[in-house]
Amino acid sequence: MGSMKEFIGVMMLLSKCFMSMKGEELIKSSSSALGGCDFPAIFNFGDSNSDTGSMAAAFYPAASPYGETFFKEPAGRASDGRLIIDFIAKHLGFPYLSAYINSIGTSYRNGANFAAGSSTIRRQNKTYFDGGTPFVLEIQTEQFNQFKARTAKFFTSGNESSYQNQFPRPEEFAKAIYILDIGQNDIGAAIGNGGNEDFQVEASKIVEYFSNQVQLLYGLGARTFWIHNTGPIGCLPVSLPIHNAKPNKTQPGYLDQNGCVKYQNEMAKIFNTNLKNLVIQLRAKFSDASLIHVDMFSAKYYLISHAKEEGFVDAYNICCGYHKDGYHRYCGNKSIVDGKEIFAGSCKDPSKYISWDGVHYTEAANNWIANHIINGSFSDPPIPITQSCHRTH
């Protein structure tokens, strides 16, 4: 029996290696004949996973220790340092994207970031003080619409202006890359409402709203779309029993083999399936556009399930915050717990952690994920982001 198990193990390993080699060959064959796209700008839409300062500029900025690793101070990002969008911008040769709503010390020559924390695809009935935001995807695309229209005035004939050096030229909007990473908070809202049984219907409606905004961007001239699906929300440490009261009352089957909340990840997969189908439909509809679907779920889930192999501590450890015995004090906050003052500070070495504050990722994890998606390993079609303007589907 032992030898049979060993044989099966060897065969599985060989199969994995073969598939990996085939995947690399597919990426190489798909991109070897393609040139670089030379994007003049990036326009990003999303939630806190890619917000580089929108919510901090509009409302209250995050306190220390946010931003401590790279910026050495809070920098409008829900992390100890840089986000995936920052590493993408760096890889494409751009400065870090300025938030559209931030008016101080910003530059929009190479694009703008419309992403905002707490954002959803659908409209909300919550204020900022209830955990919501006014900057849902529909508002973000309208902000882009205004940005495009208003900056165009600086380039009209006879209207020479120093502002021309601060914004993309009108012809560059069609050549830019448009990145979208949003949907996690829509799923989170459905989880909070206990709607997992009917989520297939909800997911279809959410993706329909998403479709409307992508088509709006297309109508405004966008032609290259880099679309992230949503990550494994059931693996976010703050929602796991280990960080909540009475963890031993978890029902059998509640968690998957890697300790993630199974039904929550299933909801994310339902959303992702609908999103993937939408991308395929839009490809057929817009023959002159390139729509790349990026499987963030698989990239993040791989990292979480192989945390120690990739040099991190257990994926469910939280670097910044206080989460014990049902008490949740989020990163940077002070409070009294059992008569003692608690400061929810950061860990000694954030680079060893995947989770920064129980919801968002550390700079180290964001860097790992970015490095594994920009080369096309998790993309459909499997081409690197530098060549994503080419329609190969």
Please say if 360 is a catalytic residue. Answer: yes
- Supply 328's token pair: 């949740």
- Nearest alpha-carbon partner for 353 in 368, 343, 342, 339: 368
Q: Are 221 and 174 in contact (CB under 8 A)?
A: yes
Please say if 48 is a catalytic residue. Answer: yes
- Nearest alpha-carbon partner for 255 in 268, 274, 269, 241: 241
Catalytic member of 186, 228, 357, 377: 357
Catalytic member of 360, 377, 379, 388: 360
Measured CA to CA, the distance from residue 393 to residue 390 in angstroms comes to: 9
Catalytic member of 31, 48, 79, 119: 48
Angle at 19 between CA 16 and CA 25, to 5 degrees: 140
- Nearest alpha-carbon partner for 316 in 279, 366, 350, 354: 354
Catalytically annotated residues: 48, 357, 360
